[in-house]
Structure 1
C-alpha cells in the first residue's frame, strides 16, 4: 500500500531534523510555506505536523508556529516507521502463506473426498454378504470349491459355509459341497447372481474363460 502523502511529508521533515537541517528549538517554516514547498494543501501539512507533534518531534504553539523539540524523537520516529515497513512485509508474506495454505487445504479436501469415495465403494463391495443355498439337483453337489472355481467364474469369495446349523469359516479349497449347504458369499450383486446361476438346480458348470 502506498503511503499517504502527509505521511511521506512527515517522514521527510523528520529526516531533515535528524540530518540537522532543522535543529532543536528552531522554528520550521509555516504551514503555507511548507505547503508550497511540497506542493500540497495546508490541510495535508497540518496532518503531517500532527503526526510529528504526536511523536514528540515538534510542538505547535498558537502565534509561535512549529518548533523542533527533539532530534532523538525524530530519529525514533523514522526507525518506528521503518519497523512499520517491516511489519507490512511480514503481513504481505503472511497473506501469501495463508493463500498458499488455502490452496493446499482445497487440494487436501479434494483428495480426501476421492479417498473417502474409493473407501466407501471398497467397503460396500466387501461388506455385501449374501447367503446362497446349494439346492437339490445342483451340479455343485459333490464338487470341491477348487473344482468349482467360484472366484474365476463369478468374482465372489466364499467366506463361510453353514452346514446343519454349524458355520465353517474360511473353508479349504478341498471342501466338498453337499445339498442344503448355505454359502456366505462376499462380492458384488452381479457376482452373487452369477453364483446363484452356477449353483442352480440342474445347471451344469460353465468352463472358466
Structure 2
C-alpha cells in the first residue's frame, strides 16, 4: 500500500493542525506557498487539500483561501492513518510467516486476506482522490451533478471541479458540467471506475 506524495502532505498538514501550528479559523498558506514548502507542484497540493476538505479538516473558498475548520477532525484523520500503519506492519509479519509455513497455516492466510480487505477499504475511504477529464463526447456535458446522480450511482464524492485553471471546491448539485472540466472525485477505486464509465 505505497503512499502517494499528496497523501503524505495531507497527513503532514493535518498533524500540524493537531499540534497547533495552524488553529481553527486561521487561513493556511496559499497553494503556491505550500507547493514551495513541500517542493511539489500546485497540482499535488490541490489533491492534498481536497482530501482534507473531504474529511472536514479544512474549508476552501474562492477569494478567501484555505481555512482550518476542525482540529478534532485533523486528530481523527491522523489517528486513522496511524492505525492503518499498524495494520500494514501486521500484514507484513503475517506474509513472512506464510513464506515459512504456507502449507500448514491456512488459517493465517484466511486471516490475512480479510485483514487486507479491511485495510484497503479504510485507505480508499480516507485517501483515494482521482481525476477525470470531461471529453468533447461526454454525455455529462450540459448536465448538473444532481442530474447525473454521481453519489447515488457510484458512491464517490465530487470534492472539486477545475475549470480553466480555477478550482471550484464542493460544487453545488446544480453545477453544470462543461467540456474539459476536471473532476476531483473521492471514493473507492471501484466507485471511481464507475464514475469514469458514467462520465466518459
TM-score under structure 1 length normalisation: 0.47
Bigger relative contact order, structure 1 or 2 (CA pairs below 8 A, ≥6 apart): 2
TM-score under structure 2 length normalisation: 0.49
